[in-house]
Structure 1
Amino acid sequence: MLFLLFILFGCLTGVTTVLFGFGGGFVVVPLLYRALSAADAHAPGQSAMHIAIATSTAAMILSASLATRKHRLAGNILWPYLWPLGGFIGLGAVMGAGATMLASSDVVRLVFVAYLGVTLLDCLARRGFLARSGAGSPQRLGQAQTVAGGLAIGLVATFLGVGGSVMTVPLLRRRGLSMAQATAMANPLSLPVAVPGTLAYVAMAWYQPVALGSGFLGYIDLAALGLLALGSLAGIHLAAPLAGRIPDRVHARVYLGLLALVMVSMMFK
């Protein structure tokens, strides 16, 4: 049953990565946290959230890479927005992985919930997200937004294992990008989170050994990663024809609805 569940959620990961730039974290982290918490012999309770985040970050490499390719072929990638923002995101990712190792599983879970709540309120209260601002005239990011925003995105995204979508989409949306463009850009901007974050979780688990048993690379659950990757391939293939075709206002509302759903799912242990 768990085997099929991981494949199903992997498929959902692929769909949400292509359409919303989630990179898998918002689907994978709650699923793995619940599954690992219920199997103490396989993953100690105090490590469940760390394993969920590390595995989510590793899965993000494949899903974000494939989704980036799909969006590039569809013409949704705006290359001037990728650099140097991506470099600062990568630097923040290393900091975020270190911060996660210093926090308990419960603390990380509560931060996960709190951050989603703040993001939802911000998107609902401030102008520029639900309704596109400056339609037809996207603005470039300023230096302060690139440096401070990039570091914050990398740190928070790696700390929570969710990719950069929860921060990059609202940021780019308020610079005048459509939801199709903003969510497409979240995929390549998730790679500077996924790659250094994955390496950091592997290295830190070796530096601070935990009794996880066989089948793990650092904090990464290899069996779960394989099943999620298999499902993700199918999900990306299914969602690709819809990329860029969802009405902008509907796209923004569904994005926020999914954030709210994940937040509620993580509020209770």
Structure 2
Amino acid sequence: MPVVVWADAALGSDAMRVATATSALVMVVSAGFATAVTPRRMLLALRGSGRLLVLLAAGAATGALATRLAPADLARWAFVAYVALTITDLLLRPGFLRSHARVDSASGSPRPLPASMGAPIGAVAAFLGVGGSVMTVPAMRRAGHTMQVATALANPLTLAVALPATAVSLGVAAVPAATAARVHLVGLIDLRAASALLLGALPVIAVLRRRPPRIPDRTHAWAYIGLLGLVTVGMLALP
């Protein structure tokens, strides 16, 4: 998000809307690719989650429509506030940095997310452009999953959020400032920015799925918080 807002700063207040839409497309491709290369035994942990996926998609469509109508500054500062609150929650509330009840997806007994969480997660993720994983990874972590499992399962859930959000973004007219700023949009999506981001992301996903790094679980959790912190700083540093 901060990278796209910075790259499309010439769009003024519309840069946030374009960044949210572009982020959704990047998530469709990257989460879809990551899901495709995730071991099937790990994805089986989502069996019976059909209702959750449907509600994620419904919430995402609603959130994507809402962000097109809301003031751009509201979306930006709500994004910063949400990520900052998430970081605070992960640091202060037990269950994230050290999972109490570890669940291995290979054992066949992981605990799925409640379907009732689908609509609110989808709506907030699509409205703010934070990506479903910012909400689903902490929730699955507190359900007892390791970071490796939680981040892997977040991909198909993110895909359920990003697909309808992208569809809504493609169906919206491009912002008037795009022509003068020489930013080529399809709907609200900056395809050049999305392509550049995916060019860096997809090879890394492929390598890490084939050769997963042996990162201690607690270190992985701290790194996740650190990345959220960098995103928050990046958004605050934008003009």
TM, length-normalised to structure 2: 0.88
Equivalent residue for 1:115, pick from 82, 107, 110: 82
Cα shift at 1:102: 1.7
Identity value in percent? 43
2:122 is equivalent to residue 154 of structure 1? yes
Cα shift at 1:81: 6.4
Secondary structure in 1 aligned to 2:164? Answer: helix
2:225 is equivalent to residue 256 of structure 1? yes
Secondary structure in 1 aligned to 2:100? Answer: coil
| Runs of 5+ consecutive residues of structure 1 not aligned to the other structure | 1-28
The CA distance in 1 between the partners of 2:50 and 2:144, in whole Å, is: 18
| Matched pairs, number | 229
Equivalent residue for 1:212, pick from 175, 178, 198: 178
The CA distance in 2 between the partners of 1:84 and 1:161, in whole Å, is: 22
Code of the residue aligned with 1:57 in structure 2: it is A
Relative to structure 1, the CA distance from residue 231 to residue 225 in structure 2 (aligned partners, 3 Å threshold; closer, same or farther) is: same
Equivalent residue for 2:5, pick from 33, 52, 59: 33
Secondary structure in 2 aligned to 1:212? Answer: helix
Superposition pairs of residues 54-133 of structure 1, within 5 angstroms: 54-72=21-39, 75-77=41-43, 78-80=45-47, 82-133=49-100
2:194 is equivalent to residue 225 of structure 1? yes
Specify the alignment match of 2:15 in structure 1: 48
The CA distance in 2 between the partners of 1:139 and 1:79, in whole Å, is: 9
Is the Cα contact below 8 Å between 2:37 and 2:206 reproduced in 1? no
Code of the residue aligned with 1:267 in structure 2: it is L
Per-residue Cα deviation, 1:11-62 (whole angstroms, up to 9, x for no partner) = xxxxxxxxxxxxxxxxxx110101111xx2xxx2021011111111111111
Is the Cα contact below 8 Å between 1:76 and 1:180 reproduced in 2? no
Code of the residue aligned with 1:94 in structure 2: it is A
What is the CA RMSD across the aligned residues, in angstroms?
A: 1.9
Code of the residue aligned with 2:156 in structure 1: it is P
Superposition pairs of residues 9-28 of structure 1, within 5 angstroms: none
Cα shift at 1:155: 0.8
Cα shift at 1:171: 0.9
The CA distance in 2 between the partners of 1:244 and 1:260, in whole Å, is: 22
Specify the alignment match of 2:205 in structure 1: 236
